[in-house]
Amino acid sequence: MITKAERAQIFADTALGAGNVLHRVVGYGRPLDDEAVWTDGTWTAPDGTRPEILTLGALYDAVKEYASWYHARGVRPRDPVAIHTFSSTEFAVNFLALTSLGAIPSFVNGNLRPEIAREYVRRQGAVGVLTDDAHRDVFAGHLDELALGFGVTAADVHGTGELPAVFPYEHDSTDPIIISHSSGTTGMPKAVPHTHQTLLYAQLHRLRLSTGNSMGRLLVALPGSHNASISVLLFGLLLRSPVYLQSSQRGADVLDAAEKFKPTNIFGFAGTYGEMAAHDLSKRDLSSVEGWYNTGDAAHEAHVRALIAQGSHAWIDENFQRVRRPGSVFTDGLGSSETGYSIFHNGHRPGSASYGRCIGKPMSFAEAAVLSEDGKPLPPGEIGRLGVKSPTLTPGYWNDSLTFHRLRLGGYWLTGDLSMQDEDGNFYHLDRAPDAIRTAHGLVLSTRTEELLLREIPELSDCTVVAVAPDGVRADWDGDGVGEAYVLVQTGGSRSDDEWTAHVNEVLAKAGFPVLTRALVMDAGEVTKGATGKVLKRELRERFRDRLAGRS
């Protein structure tokens, strides 16, 4: 962990930004034998090995070797280069190398379908692509049609030792330093750039508030292609905290990594935490964990409670002494690729009660409002569109300004979520606008309904509420039609679909929620998830509409 003097050195560095963190910390004189990155064995280094641990010096050497290879291939400042892999370490090393040249790494999630990955890269105007072996064939034979100057894997990267006369590149605060993409839950992912300033703004803000004493060892279970994963890596480099880059977001794999790495903090998406909570955590060693950080969609209460029962956390007692208390802290923060960081903050620890989809208040550097359809802020208790303002916000979608500006309303950027405020100014994440369902029994907010069912029915490990509407009918928030709402329940119980339907609707009616058409028992393998692990309710809607119509 850094000292107060090292923290002051960071704040005095006016050139520091997301595009040069590694080079600045090396320039500060940090020990090169510090552990910097733990890998999961998915990255092949230029010498052909698969190192488990990279010291700061080894990471710096690898980055310079990659940078010299890219430079020799003609990559120049402001050139986008696509990276398509399953390896979180691969994404990280290429990010650090390309930004050191002033180039722009364009991350492509390894779970995208090949045709979508190719079209996505074509839209970026990339000059070349680096993949892993699993994705080599995605672009093989397509380089000319995509105007790509090269298509290689890590095995082809061997540095020349020659670097530009000015190295590392000297960024302006507005220079783009990464293009990552949205989850793609509504189709083609949106390309989201961030700048030298926007991707590091929140981390520097946090560092001003605290020395980061609890951030000793950071396990990143976020998709390596997401800008949030890079954001945590940069924070770890600033803090002198080892960072474990976990490529798989499956709950079991993250638990295995936690037992190996012994992290103090774990970073992930709600879907991963839900899978982790479904395990018998009493059989897992999570004693090192002090905190969990969630971004993307808000997490479910049932999953949060299971996780915060593990580990321990620091506390100042009534005698102003620092003590340790059983149980960890879960920081729930609604965010997105576009916001570059969680905009909201709501902390949960054993005994806390701020649940019910509460995401708390905006971070001090951001603003938020619940908006009417004409962009006017709504009073407490009314449901509307969630709009945000933040210095961490992307400057716009890459090569698609029209889509970005269509998501602006009343001076705010629309997150795509439906929200509500209480009288104390706390915000509540109720649903995604496309996932809300207008039914004959009222408006079903799918995420809020799932929250209630998971809380009230302990035998559920997870559940998903989806709409089924007739062809040509829109029954979501923006539609004016009516559909039916189904809940897909994951459980180890033996109840039939009819029994589950009755039980679910009894729970909903008691809480004053609209009842659903039917409950269907399913297993986890039937849940369709997107590239970043989010449930694709759009695809589930189509699949179950076909099943109910007898077409499949």
Q: What is the pLDDT of residues 225-235, one digit of tens each?
A: 999 999 999 99
Give the pairing of strands 312-316 and 344-348. unpaired
User: pLDDT at position 210, please?
Assistant: 72
3-class secondary structure per residue, 445-458: CHHHHHHHHHHHCC
Q: Is the dihedral of CA 218, 224, 229, 230 positive or negative?
A: positive
User: pLDDT at position 538, please?
Assistant: 58
Give the pairing of strands 243-245 and 35-38. parallel
Comparing C-alpha atoms, which of 342, 325, 326 is closest to residue 334? 342
Comparing C-alpha atoms, which of 132, 60, 52, 36 is closest to residue 91? 132
Comparing C-alpha atoms, which of 375, 445, 441 is closest to residue 417? 445
Q: Tokens 């890269």 belong to which residue?
A: 121
Inter-residue contact 39 to 51 (CB < 8 Å)? yes
User: pLDDT at position 480, please?
Assistant: 93
Distance CA 368, CA 425 (A): 10
Distance CA 494, CA 501 (A): 13
Helices (H), 285-343: 301-308
pLDDT < 70 positions in the chain: 184-187, 211-213, 524-552
Q: Which amino acid is at 509?
A: A
Angle between helices 270-277 and 301-308 (to 10 degrees): 60
Structural domains present in the chain: 57-196 (3.40.50.980), 203-430 (3.40.50.12780), 436-548 (3.30.300.30)
Q: Is 493 helix (H, G, I), strand (E, B) or coil?
A: coil
User: pLDDT at position 146, please?
Assistant: 96
User: pLDDT at position 326, please?
Assistant: 95
Q: Which amino acid is at 50?
A: R
Phi and psi based region of residue 410 (left: phi greater than 0; alpha: psi -120 to 50; beta: remaining) = left
User: pLDDT at position 68, please?
Assistant: 97
